[in-house]
Structure 1
Amino acid sequence: MQLIDQLNDSIRSLAGFWPELALVFAIGIVILADLVLMPRSKVRQFSPKPELMEGSFSQLTNARNRSVVYALSLMAVVVAGVLLAVQWSQPRGFLFSSALLLDNQAVFYKMVVTLAAFFAILHAWLLPPRNGFPLDWLPILLAMLLGLYLMTMAVNLLTVYLSIELVSISSYLLTALSTDRKASEGGLKYLLFGAVSSAIMLYGMSLLYGLTGTLSLAESAEPLTSNDSFVIYIAGFLTLAGILFKLSLVPFHVWTPDAYEAAPTPVVAFFSVGPKAAALLVLMRILTALPANFQIPLAAIALASITLGNLSALWQTDAKRLLAYSSIAHAGFLLVGIVSFNETGFEASTFYVATYVFINMAAFLLIDLLAHQHDGRLSLQDFSGLGFTQPFLAFALTAVMIALTGLPPTVGFTAKLLVFSSLLEAYQSNGNPWLPALFGFGLLNAVISLFYYLRIPFLLYFRPTLTDQPVVKALSRPQFVLAAVLALPVVLLFFKPDWLLRWIERL
Structure 2
Amino acid sequence: MSLSDQLSDIISSLGGFGPIGWLSVAFCGLLLAELLLLRATPSQARRVIGLLTLLTLVVAGLWAVLLPWRGFLFMRLLYVDNQALFFQVVVALSGVLVVGYERLMGADSRADSAGKLPLEWYALLVAMTLGLFLMTQSVNLLSLYLSVELVSICSYLLTALTTTRKASEGGIKYLLFGAVSSAIMLYGMSLLYGMTGTLDLTADAFGAELARQDAAVATVAVLLTLSGLLFKLAGVPFHVWTPDAYEAAPVPVAAFFSVAPKAAAVLVLMRVITALPVESESGAATVGALQTPLAVLALAGILIGNLSALRQTDAKRLLAYSSIAHAGFLLVGVVALNEAGFEAVLFYAGTYLFISLAAFFLIDLLASSQGHTLAIRDFAGLGSRQPVLSVALTVVMLALTGLPPTVGFTAKLLSFSALYDAWQLSGKPWLLALFALGLLNALISLVYYLRIPFLLFFRPMPSTVGGEASAGVLPRGALWLAVGLVVPILAFFLKPDWLAGLIASW
Cα offset for 1:38? 4.2
Structure 1: runs of 5 or more not aligned: 41-60
1:110-259 correspondence runs (5 A): 110-127=88-105, 128=107, 130=112, 131-219=115-203, 220-259=206-245
Asked if the contact 2:233/2:262 (under 8 Å) is kept, the reply is yes
Alignment correspondent of 1:6: 6
Question: Could you say which residue in structure 1 is the equivalent of 2:280?
Answer: none
Do structure 1's residue 477 and structure 2's residue 476 form an aligned pair? yes
Contact 1:245 1:252 in 2 (8 A): yes
Q: Cα deviation per residue 1:10-49 (whole Å; 9 max; x = unaligned)? A: 1111111111111111112211222222445xxxxxxxxx
Deviates further, 473-482 or 322-331: 473-482
Identity of aligned residues (%): 60
Residue 294 of structure 1 corresponds to which residue in structure 2?
290
Cα distance in 1, alignment partners of residues 91 and 42 from structure 2: 30
1:39-58 → structure 2 map (5 Å cutoff):
39=39
Aligned-pair CA distance for 1:86: 1.4
- Match in the other structure for 2:22: 22
Amino acid at match of 2:220: I
1:75 aligns with 2:61: no
Query: Contact 2:371 / 2:470 at 8 angstroms: preserved in 1?
Result: no
Q: Which residue of 1 aligns with 2:332?
A: 336
- Distance in structure 1 (CA, Å) of the matches to 2:324 and 2:398: 17
Q: 1:452 is matched with which residue: 448, 452, 464?
A: 448
Could you tell which deviates more after superposition, 169-178 or 482-491? 482-491
Match of 1:52 in 2: none
Whether contact under 8 Å (2:15, 2:69) holds in the other structure is no
SS in 2 for 1:374: coil
Instruction: Report the more deviating stretch, 455-464 or 466-475.
Output: 466-475
Q: Tell me the distance in 2 between the aligned counterparts of 1:501 and 1:472.
A: 42
Q: Quick one: which amino acid aligns to residue 74 of structure 1?
A: L
* Cα offset, 1:481, TM superposition: 2.7
Aligned with residue 379 of structure 2, among 375, 383, 389: 383
CA RMSD of superposed structures (Å): 1.2
Within the candidate set 265, 274, 283, 1:279 is matched to 265
Letter matched to residue 62 of structure 1: P
After superposition, give the CA deviation of every residue in 1:416-475 in whole Å (9 maximum; x if it has no partner): 111110011101111111111111111111100000000000010011012224443343
| Equivalent position SS for 2:489 | helix
Query: 2:414 is matched with which residue?
Result: 418
Deviation string, structure 1 residues 87-107 (Cα, Å, up to 9, x no partner) = 1xx131100000000111111
Counterpart residue number, 1:33:
33
Contact residue 38 and residue 66 of structure 1 kept, 8 A: no
Which runs of structure 2 are paired with 1:361-376 in the superposition (5 Å)? 361-376=357-372
Task: Give the letter aligned to residue 499 of structure 1.
Answer: W
Contact 1:236 1:290 survives alignment (8 Å): no
Aligned-partner SS, 2:79: strand
The structural deviation recorded for 1:331 is 0.4
Between the aligned partners of 1:155 and 1:68, the Cα distance in structure 2 is 37
| Alignment match, 1:441 | 437
Cα distance in structure 2, aligned partners of 1:491 and 1:428: 32
CA–CA distance in 2 between the matches of 1:246 and 1:200? Answer: 14
Instruction: State whether residues 92 and 103 of structure 1, in contact with CA within 8 Å, keep that contact through their aligned partners in structure 2.
Output: yes
- Match in the other structure for 1:354: 350
Alignment partner of 1:462 is 2:458: yes
Unaligned 5+ segments in structure 2 are 278-285
- Aligned AA for 1:134? P
Equivalent residue letter for 1:112: V
2:477 corresponds to 1:499: no
- The corresponding residue for 1:265 is 251
CA shift, 1:232, in A, is 1.3
What whole-Å deviation, never above 9, does each CA across 1:306-353 have from its counterpart, x for those lacking one? 001001000101000000000000000100111101010111111111
Report the alpha carbon displacement of residue 222 of structure 1 after superposing the two structures with TM. 1.5
Deviation at 1:3, TM superposition (A): 1.6
1:406 to 402, 408, 429: 402
Q: Secondary structure at the match of 1:84?
A: helix
Matched, 1:105 2:71: no
3-state SS, counterpart of residue 217 of structure 1: coil
Q: Distance in 1 between matches of 2:470 and 2:180?
A: 47
Q: Deviations over 1:261-313 (max 9, x none)?
A: 00000000000010000000000000011221201011111111100100100
What amino acid sits opposite 2:351 in the alignment? Answer: T
- The question of whether the paired residues in 1 share the 8 Å contact of 2:369 and 2:473 is answered with no
| Larger CA deviation: 211-220 vs 464-473 | 464-473
- The normalised TM-score by structure 1 is 0.94
Count of equivalent residues: 485
Separation in 2 of the partners of 1:375 and 1:447? 32
Measured at CA, do residues 374 and 475 of structure 1 come closer, stay the same or move farther in structure 2, by a change above 3 Å?
A: closer
CA contact (8 A) 2:380 2:456 kept: yes
Aligned-residue offset at 1:374: 2.7
